[in-house]
Amino acid sequence: MDAYITKIKAISERLLKDGTVEAVIGFREGTMPMMSEPCFIKSSDDVKDLVWNANCRINLANYLTNRKEKIAIVAKGCDSRNIVNHIIENKIKRDQLFIIGVPCKGMNDKNTGALQDNCGTCTHRNPVIYDELVGDLVVEQTGVDKYADVKKVEAMSTDEKWAFFEDMYSTCTRCYACRNACPLCYCPTCFVDESKPQWVGKATDPIDVRTYHFLRAYHCAGRCTDCGSCEAACPQNIKVRQLTKKLEKDCAELFGWEAGLTLDKRPPLDTFNVDDPNDFIK
Amino acid sequence: MKNLMEHMGVEPGRLQFSWISSAESTKFVDVVKQVTASVKELGPNEKFIKKTVKVA
């Protein structure tokens, strides 16, 4: 970790000094314990504020949306996959970016300090695209069961499933931290904020809460990289990833797709193929 | 979408998809019969009723 940050600082300083980029997106020490916060460094004098530790769990690709300037970004495996998403979805251009790749061994959970849930089953710890690495590539995990908890829910009866999610979302206050932390959620006006028409109630009625989570997850279908930003941001510790993971599993099974791995392929929900599964249509 | 709805606890058969051309009148009738039959079997959808009292 120490070697990483020395390298991150050195690269950032160099890029800012020689004018390659106008800003570096990285992490600095947060105002709360066990929480590093994302920051924009715009001057080489401020490079000293950058940190790298096991609390850099938020996905930085979130801050790239529609930026016009040349920009450098510190990217773990998951951040890099979301950068690929952003490029595919025309939210940023590759030539605007200088990607400082960070091989990652997982972030710590914000409450327990143990390895974060999604990091335990991560199979893309190394950045998929980068301009410069800050350390040697790490060994990828193999043989992990990514979808153990999804399978558990799949095995439940309809009523049990309903009750499971009813219970899970019962503490949700609709603060939208999950949406705001999510690099995929970049719509200028989110459907929950629309009032003409109002798609969904804005209070914490269980049905509205469920509709919000369902639709937000669905908007991430075929795009979610399971970076865990949503769960890391949730002040109520709701397992927000339950639904997005189910979609990730479906995409893998139906389309053989994993999001954010290559710039050369369009996502499955963006393309038509005569072999697309259509058993659900009568 | 159907997968995720059912994953979340909506009954299978509640959400249905079909593709029917304007020339396929008999298919349309068949599908409508099937859908109504399966929905009748499930009964009224009470999960989506808001139970809390509306304030103002």
Taking residues A261-279, what's their average pLDDT? 86
Kind of pairing, strands A132-133 and A97-101? Answer: parallel
CB atoms within 10 A of CB A272: 7
The predicted-structure confidence for A190-219, as pLDDT tens digits, reads as follows: 999 999 899 998 888 888 999 999 999 999
Is the confidence at residue A2, as pLDDT, over 80? no
> Where do we find the tokens 């992490």?
A27
Which of B8, B12, B18 lies nearest to residue A281, judging by beta carbons? B18
C-alpha distance from residue A81 to each of A60, A226, A230 (Å)? 11, 10, 16
Which of B26, B24, B3 lies closest to A280, judged by CA? B3
The predicted-structure confidence for B2-54, as pLDDT tens digits, reads as follows: 677 788 788 888 888 899 999 999 999 999 999 999 999 988 888 888 776 66
The predicted-structure confidence for A14-40, as pLDDT tens digits, reads as follows: 999 999 999 999 999 999 888 999 999
Q: Which residue of A has its CA nearest to B5?
A: A214
Cβ separation B9–A161 shorter than 8 A: yes
In the three-class reduction of DSSP (H, G, I as helix; E, B as strand; rest coil), residue A23 is classed as: strand
Which of B3, B10, B18 lies nearest to residue A250, judging by beta carbons? B3
C-alpha distance from residue B21 to each of A134, A228, B24 (Å)? 58, 43, 5
- The pTM (predicted TM-score) of the whole model is 0.89
Is the confidence at residue A133, as pLDDT, over 80? yes
Is the confidence at residue B56, as pLDDT, over 60? no
Rounded to 10 deg, the angle between the A158-168 and A206-219 helix axes is 100
Rounded to 10 deg, the angle between the A241-255 and A206-219 helix axes is 40
List the helix and strand counts (H, then E) for chain B.
2, 0
Chain A residues near residue B18 by CB distance under 8 angstroms: 281-282
The per-residue pLDDT for A191 is 93
Cβ separation B9–A160 shorter than 8 A: yes
Taking residues A58-75, what's their average pLDDT? 95
Taking residues A221-244, what's their average pLDDT? 93
pLDDT class of A273 with cuts at 50, 70, 90: confident
The per-residue pLDDT for B1 is 63
Kindly state whether A207 is in contact with chain B, defined as any CB-CB distance less than 8 angstroms.
yes
Kindly state whether B52 is in contact with chain A, defined as any CB-CB distance less than 8 angstroms.
yes
The predicted-structure confidence for A158-187, as pLDDT tens digits, reads as follows: 889 999 999 999 999 999 999 999 999 999
The per-residue pLDDT for A267 is 87
What residues of chain B, 8 to 47, have a C-beta less than 8 Å from chain A? Answer: 8-12, 16-19, 31, 34, 47
Cβ separation A162–B10 shorter than 8 A: yes
Q: Please tell me the distance from the alpha carbon of residue A249 to that of residue A255, in angstroms, as a whole number.
A: 10
The predicted-structure confidence for A75-124, as pLDDT tens digits, reads as follows: 999 999 999 999 999 999 999 999 999 999 999 999 998 999 999 999 99
Cβ separation B11–A158 shorter than 8 A: yes
